[in-house]
Amino acid sequence: MVSPPKVLVIGDDTRSFLTCVRSLGRRGVEVHVAPYTLDAPALQSRYIRKVHLLPYYLDGGAKWLHAMQTLLAAEQFDMVLPCEERGLLPLFAHQAELPGSTVLAIPDAVALDAFFDKLNTRQLAQRCSVPIPDGYVWRADSSVAQLQAQLGLPVAAKHRQSYRLQQLYVRTQVRILQDAAEVNQWLQSQQPAPDSVFFEKIVEGVGLGVSVLCHQGKVLQAFEHHRANELAGSSYYRKSMPLNAERLNAVARMVAAVSYTGLAMFEFKLNTHTGQWVLLEVNARPWGSLPLPVAWGVDFPYRLFQLLCARQETPAVAYPSGRYNRNLIADIWQMRTLVAQLKRQPITLGVALLRWLAGFGRLILLREKHDVWVADDPAPAWTEMRQFLAQRLPKRLLPTAVLPKTSAAIAKATSSKPRHVLFVCQGNICRSPYAERIARSIFSSKNLPIAVDSAGMLPRNRRPAPANAIAAAKLSHVDLSDHLSKCTDTELVSKADLIFIFDDINFQSFKQRHPDQVSKLILLSAFDDEKEAGYVADPDGKDIGEFQITYALIDRCLKNFAKRLK
């Protein structure tokens, strides 16, 4: 028997990732996935054969690279398909160190430079005579006055790149800045180096995208969609539209200029009154609105697989216009935001609500489909709905097992002396490093031979403790001046006998990455004899007094824990 082709899809969202999984799985491809969290609804898809949790890409990516090399050697994938930059950029950086037998569905160096740097995208568009908004590049000698004179206010503030390999899990955001004071405040918060940020003139209109599959600079398939229910530049409800010849020609000129091979979505803004349009940016990888074309007959992910693995240039197919797709949960959240904004404009709000509700009638007319809710793969939608409802429940209705602070948990934690204790908070810069160092002192004074360590859930390493944390710790004779944060990983969690967390945010974050180790968790505040605090709250960003209160609570809890062990 001939084994089916096998693909590793990197991601875990319910838009581009889930669409790629379903597209390939329906065609008989064996789909493995590498998610960032293990409780993502998309992982419930029936088309996923196996889930592989890779280490975060940190400190040059040595652990990530070893894990990826091991996985590719063991599974012999035909293709690896990253659904966004957190998966794509490491693959690009280390492609020479990965097996050549596996196709990496990533852009080449020329396309990466052109499409993943927004300033380079603007320059390419200008060379190809594609209209773009007026812009202003911030340089060392720039001033807000010059910016205002050239573009006026408000403006859209952007970074050249949404993600950088050095800080892969920090995404830069586009900000709309209304006046000079906001511009100055934003610049101070970013501390930009010359050429790292730029500004664009805000263009009124509706957002739309032209999606393409390309091979060596030739467009094999194109699809146009327009946003519906757009709010603040985003929309989770979209409709298919006929291809506009001018925009398609503009896209064709740009992909030809870099001889691009792969998937891409070119985002435009269209002024519906004048008919004028401009290019905003390019997503040269699977994009958020991908469920729409796939649902209505343009199967971009599988055709990419055919192109890269079977060398098949599949012919263009027609698609119906005026068809809609909705990401239901996200669309509901966006409507809640609109309701909050228009609560003092009842007529406008009423019209918007009626238009939104009327849109669901397209389901009856068979002109609308949903991104997540599909007949052949319902489990992701049910999981997403359960998680959505759980978020809306009051905390008092959550089962006690979710908050490990019961007498049974305390008894379990102290029934036998742990050999290794791990403290885990979010960033490993305020609470857990202090707890680690004060615990080491307390355990030593009580003659308790317990190894102690600390880590954070955020995938960011080597961050120092803030100044107020260092100052407050010093008052308790704890030195945090040399502390640098580290992120939890499988090795660190596995060797711990007992893991102290500080609040339910830590619990939820931990459960997403290490669900099989949840039984080791207990809230540190379970050992608070004064029973004043439900959690040990995060003091980050607060004054030194708040840090002192937090550290006093940690002291009290750890002394009580040590006393119970004795």
Q: What is the rounded CA–CA span in Å between residue 165 and residue 19?
A: 26
One DSSP character per residue, 362-374 reads: HHHTT-EEESS--
Reported confidence tier of residue 532, pLDDT bands at 50, 70, 90: low
Predicted confidence (pLDDT) at residue 219 exceeds the cutoff of 90: yes
What does the domain layout of the chain look like in residue ranges? Answer: 6-105, 134-201, 401-565
pLDDT at 406: 57
Reported as type and span, the H/E element at residue 31 is strand 30-34
Polymer length in residues for the chain: 566
Q: Is 47 helix (H, G, I), strand (E, B) or coil?
A: coil
Q: Which of 287, 134, 315 is nearest to 225 (CA)?
A: 287
Q: What is the mean pLDDT of the chain?
A: 93
CATH of domain 134-201: 3.30.1490.20
pLDDT at 413: 72
Reported confidence tier of residue 405, pLDDT bands at 50, 70, 90: low
Q: What is the rounded CA–CA span in Å between residue 249 and residue 105?
A: 25
Q: Which residue has the higher pLDDT, 38 or 418?
A: 38
Reported as type and span, the H/E element at residue 238 is strand 237-241
Q: Which of 13, 29, 187 is nearest to 85 (CA)?
A: 13
Same fold, 6-105 and 401-565: yes
Average pLDDT over residues 509-536: 88
Structure tokens, 376 = 């052949």
Least trusted range by pLDDT, from 56-70, 112-126, 223-237, 484-498: 223-237
Q: Are strands 30-34 and 6-10 parallel, antiparallel or unpaired?
A: parallel
CATH entry, 6-105, from 3.40.50.20, 2.40.50.100, 3.65.10.10, 3.40.50.720: 3.40.50.20
Are 503 and 536 in contact by the 8 Å Cβ rule? The answer is yes
Amino acid (one-letter) located at 560: N
Are 420 and 453 in contact by the 8 Å Cβ rule? The answer is yes
Structure tokens, 244 = 């506009």
Cβ neighbours, 10 Å, residue 445: 10
Are 241 and 208 in contact by the 8 Å Cβ rule? The answer is yes
Q: Which residues contact 386 (CB under 8 A, 6 or more apart)?
A: none
CATH of domain 401-565: 3.40.50.2300
